[in-house]
Chain A
Amino acid sequence: MSSNVGIVIVSHSPKVAEGAADMVRQMVGDEVQVAWTGGNPAGGLGTSVPAIMSAIDHAWSEAGVAILVDLGGAETNSEMAIEMLPDERQGKVVVCNAPIVEGAVIAATEAASGAPLALVKKIAEELSPQ
């Protein structure tokens, strides 16, 4: 387990999520755990709470996990997934209000430098129009 903040990418499309994760790995390397999930519980376009919970588990680090999302339901389902985690983990997972691809790369770059979760989130969110 890396001591750096982990990154989870949640898209409606598994292809988008996997592609964004590939970009992160290529640009940032293996110093950051990256997990991705896409698709609804039936395998169509959408997002799935149990799949997001398992991605969080996969990217887990005691330093926390930053989630990058695409559209509406991905954010709502990610927030729901966080609330369903064990109490001791809930406070260590955040959803970043940032573009999914650029946000994931920037967040992972920041995480790779050992930045704490709050800073990873802040830097990723600087990409969003204020």
Chain B
Amino acid sequence: MDSALLRQLIERVCQAVIARADHLTDLDQAIGDGDHGVNMKRGCEAVLAEIDGTAAKSLPEAMRAIGTQLVMTVGGASGPLYGTLFLTLGKELPAEPDLPAVAKAVKAALAAVQARGKSERGQKTLLDVLGPVSDTLSTGSFGSLTELSIVANQAAAATVPLQATRGRASFLGERSIGHMDPGACSLALIVETLVATLEGLNK
């Protein structure tokens, strides 16, 4: 992948997460321990601080570097979960992936994040967005990238009525119903930003 494009994708995603950090924290204060926004912001700032070196790498090496940076700086449960996601993408993606290669890598990342969190879909976690995104990529059942963004956002919205059975939110039992899961929200934001950046290039 072209390093200027890689740089742009990393920058846009990190900036989007940083800009929405307060919203992510608000969501997490409702059902978790209120640190998701702050933690993700710290991780994204660390990724941005290393962007010159990261963007110069091949796509898989860059994904591994981002995964390690997130693991080392995010803290909370989202650090190892997002870290595992990117480390797995780094293991699976070729340097110049086509759509089937991306679908395969995302599917592997889904399995790895599931294992890391000892969690499954339907438990009100980021898996509830990663799962549908992975399915959509695998079946290739989307006309444009924008549809992928819609899938991610609809999936995040669909976590609102779920009761959390994994993570800190599970302590709340039924009281976790009625709030969007912060991890699902941040992942949908990341997918949306990736899509918007890639689509912007095609215009």
Contacts and interface: CB of A to CB of B under 8 A. Distances in A.
| Majority DSSP secondary structure for residues of A touching B | loop
- Residue among B38, B73, B77, B168 with max Cβ neighbours from chain A (10 Å): B77
Interface stretch (B19-27, B78-86, B146-154): B78-86
Contact of A76 (B38, B42, B72, B117): B117
Interface in B60-90: 71-81, 83-84
Contact of B81 (A45, A46, A49, A76): A76
B116 interface: yes
Contact of B80 (A40, A41, A77): A77
Q: Most chain-A CB neighbours within 10 Å: which of B35, B39, B76?
A: B76
A71 interface: yes
Question: A interface, how many residues as a size bin?
Answer: 10 to 19
Contacts of B71: 49, 80, 84
B76 A73 contact: yes
Given A46-B76, A49-B72, A73-B76, 13 more contacts: A40-B75, A40-B76, A41-B42, A42-B75, A44-B75, A46-B35, A46-B75, A47-B76, A50-B72, A73-B78, A76-B80, A76-B117, A77-B75
Interface of B: 33, 35, 38-39, 42, 71-81, 83-84, 116-117, 167-168
Interface of A: 40-42, 44-50, 71-73, 76-77, 79-80, 84
